[in-house]
Amino acid sequence: MRTLEPLLFELSASGRSAVSLPACDVPEVPVEMMIPKHMLSQQELDSHLPELAEVDVVRHFTRLSTFNYGLDTGFYPLGSCTMKYNPKVNERLARLPGFTALHPYQPESMTQGALQLMAELQDDFCELTGMDGFTLQPAAGAHGEMTGMLIIKAYHEHRQDNKRTKVIVPDSAHGTNPATAAMVGYDIIQVPSNERGGVDLEALKKAVNDEVAALMLTNPNTVGLFDENILEITKVIHDVGGLLYYDGANTNAIMGIARPGDMGFDIVHLNLHKTFSTPHGGGGPGSGPVGVKEFLVPFLPKPMVIRQDDGTFTLEENLPLSIGRVRSFYANFSVLVKAYAYIRSLGGQGLKAASENAVLNANYLMSILKEHYFLPFERVCKHEFIITPKNLKSTGVHTLDIAKRILDYGYHPPTIYFPMIVEEAMMIEPTETESVETLDEFAQVLIRIAEEARSETDLVKNAPHTTLVTRLDEVSASRKPNLRWRNS
Amino acid sequence: MNPVDMKYNKDHEYAKVEGNIVTFGITDHAQESLGDVVFVELPDEGSMVTVGESYGTVESVKAVSDISASISGKIVEVNTLVLDAPDLLNSDPYGEGWLIKVAADDLAPLKNMMTAAEYETFLLEEEH
């Protein structure tokens, strides 16, 4: 087995260097003569910085890169994260010098191509979600949520409807939903789920009144199920004057099939790093564009990319009701290029097929695994589903143990212990980019682990065995974290 | 076994009454479901708690959970031991793993809580 990679500090050898500079051909001036003494560091830096040859550095980082696991190495069924394969053509287009060499302060006459891409992407998102206007500024999903909630707040305040202090969130919601609403200053009301995995409609009706600013909902929700009562839910909220916020984390299930705007939602965010195939999870920055219905367009962040009558594009700053800027410059622009490339590569029919295959793959895996694990909701799922090891309870094997054992078989584990409404949840999202062979192999691994839980319990409870680092002591890591290197 | 001299709620929290002093903690089932507890956050002695509202958090390797008060009143003692040794919630939830002691304004809300026998029935029902 490989040993852990030493730190650069440990690889350091005194006097070793990656470059040899030519002799200085100008008079040397002592640093004290150029910088006031009180501004100079008192530490002797040399003794703290590692000294290495180029080959040491290259080998160190190349070795570290082989310890990584990503979509380019294997199946990554992390529920609610939509870890789909990111086509390399996206990267290639995002690296075109016409995009990468742009400076954000260049005049609009020189940036028409970039502005056109943004305007067309806004149009695409409007069509896909049933919204009337979009901002591309938010740099991540939670950032998009906050932008959306600020728009809701600005809308109610503009109408001088200041009694609305509450936001309703179902108990299956992503944790960012209540966190965002609280951050924007709202009180949170949690509504329970029903036995079908949807919002408990009666509980919702009891919770609403004219103090409700909005309901935040994911549909399909975090248990991978489409809420059958969605039209009634949106009506209940609208009837008391509240707005409907759609968390777009699970949009991968519905592209070209259902639109939040048609379900009654007023605001939507999309996660480009999930649905639109841009890298995430350490692989790249996120992007969380926000779309709104016509009556909320004046509140969108500025500047807005506008298509003018003569066919040119401009950044509009004169928007008096706008909530203002939510990001420096315009967006995580290269992420937008990748999403644009993805949408143009697939086209409308292709996006629809992607969603259909994502749902088909999830149902295929679910139908195999439900014979071997407990399935809390016996329904056709959307892009993801939940199973639990409740049927293995007598063995003492928990979800955590199964997740660790999956590592031994060379896969990334699914999302575990979320959503919290299902005890010992394992949330599996295969995405559309996996073949039936991959799904079959993964299913066989989970079936085998269920057998091992019964016959070789300790093997599962002490997993992983084949990884570089075996079972981590998470308790010590949390209680006594050792976060920095010190020269001892 | 859940002690018979305590009351229980559906969030798997217990309340033990001695005079007008009520001790709060989490149940054995709660610590079992949470897994290894790594961090406990509690308010200061002398602060007030309100029935049904969160007064602190318990964090395990699996999740962070709010803990809520079963009655209103003033905190007369905080178990500072669990702040340094949160594993006491796992090893001895009904003993050394208690969380806070509250001087109750009114003991009436305890009437809505379950007895040990009722709580055990509730646990069985929750299984199915």
Reported as a single tens digit per residue, the pLDDT across A19-57 is 888 998 999 899 889 999 889 887 766 567 889 999 999
Nearest to A478 among B33, B38, B63 (CB): B38
Query: What's the one-letter identity of residue B74?
Result: K
DSSP characters for A390-414?
GGGGGGT--HHHHHHHHHHTT----
pLDDT at A478: 79
pLDDT at A168: 98
Residue A417, min C-alpha distance to chain B (Å): 6
Chain B residues with CB-CB distance to A416 below 8 A: 62
For residue B17, what are its two tokens?
């009454």
The verdict on a CB contact (< 8 Å) between A398 and B35 is: yes
A292 has pLDDT over 90 = yes
| Distance in angstroms (rounded) separating the CA atoms of residues A286 and A269 | 12
Residues of chain A in Cβ contact (below 8 Å) with chain B = 398, 400, 416-417, 420, 423, 474-475, 478-479
Q: How confident is the prediction for chain A on average, in pLDDT? A: 94
pLDDT at A474: 81
A355 has pLDDT over 60 = yes
A481 has pLDDT over 90 = no
pLDDT at A357: 98
For residue B35, what are its two tokens?
């897994």
A383 has pLDDT over 50 = yes
Residue A340, min C-alpha distance to chain B (Å): 37
For helices A112-129 and A333-369, give the axis angle rounded to 10 degrees.
Answer: 30
Residue B65, min C-alpha distance to chain A (Å): 10
Which residue is closest to B62 within chain A, CA to CA? A417
ipTM: 0.72
| Distance in angstroms (rounded) separating the CA atoms of residues A433 and A451 | 28
Chain A residues with CB-CB distance to B36 below 8 A: 474-475
Span A178-213, pLDDT tens digits: 999 999 999 999 999 999 899 999 999 999 999 999
In chain B, the percentage of residues whose pLDDT exceeds 70 is 99
| Distance in angstroms (rounded) separating the CA atoms of residues A426 and A436 | 21
pLDDT at A47: 62
Residue B38, min C-alpha distance to chain A (Å): 6
A2 has pLDDT over 50 = no
Residue B24's φ and ψ, nearest 5 degrees, are: -105, 150
Span A85-99, pLDDT tens digits: 999 999 999 999 999
pLDDT at A1: 37
Which residue is closest to A477 within chain B, CA to CA? B38
Prediction pTM value:
0.88
Best residue of A422, A471, A478 to probe chain B, by most B CBs closer than 10 Å = A478
| Distance in angstroms (rounded) separating the CA atoms of residues A425 and A316 | 47
CB pairs under 8 A between A and B: 23
Mean pLDDT within B98-110: 93
Q: From residue A313, how far is each of A254, A271, B41 by CA, in Å?
A: 31, 25, 53
The verdict on a CB contact (< 8 Å) between A475 and B38 is: yes
Best residue of A417, A421, A473 to probe chain B, by most B CBs closer than 10 Å = A417
Beta bridge partners of A154: none
For residue B113, what are its two tokens?
């809580």
Residues of chain B in Cβ contact (below 8 Å) with chain A = 33, 35-36, 38-39, 59, 61-63, 86-87
Report CA B86 to chain centroid distance, whole Å: 14
- Please check whether residue A218 is in contact with residue A254, taking contact to mean a CB–CB distance below 8 angstroms: no
Q: Are strands B48-49 and B73-78 parallel, antiparallel or unpaired?
A: antiparallel
Nearest to A420 among B39, B63, B86 (CB): B63
Nearest to A417 among B38, B59, B63 (CB): B63
Span A218-272, pLDDT tens digits: 999 999 999 999 999 999 999 999 999 999 999 999 999 999 999 999 999 999 9
Span A93-117, pLDDT tens digits: 999 999 999 999 999 999 999 999 9
pLDDT band at A9 (very low <50, low <70, confident <90, very high): confident
A487 has pLDDT over 80 = no
pLDDT at A379: 93
Nearest to A478 among B33, B39, B63 (CB): B39
A479 has pLDDT over 80 = no
A299 has pLDDT over 80 = yes
- Please check whether residue A199 is in contact with residue A217, taking contact to mean a CB–CB distance below 8 angstroms: yes
Mean pLDDT within A440-464: 97
Chain B residues with CB-CB distance to A400 below 8 A: 35, 61-62
For residue A238, what are its two tokens?
């609208």
Residue B55, min C-alpha distance to chain A (Å): 16
The verdict on a CB contact (< 8 Å) between A417 and B33 is: no
Which residue is closest to A423 within chain B, CA to CA? B33
pLDDT at A451: 98
The verdict on a CB contact (< 8 Å) between B35 and A400 is: yes
| Distance in angstroms (rounded) separating the CA atoms of residues B117 and B122 | 9
Task: Strands of A388-477 (E only): list them.
Answer: 415-416, 426-428
pLDDT at A352: 98
pLDDT at A486: 73
Residue B86, min C-alpha distance to chain A (Å): 9
With the CA atoms of B49, B53, B57 and B62 taken in that order, what torsion angle do they form, in degrees rounded to the nearest 10? 160
- Please check whether residue B3 is in contact with residue B117, taking contact to mean a CB–CB distance below 8 angstroms: no
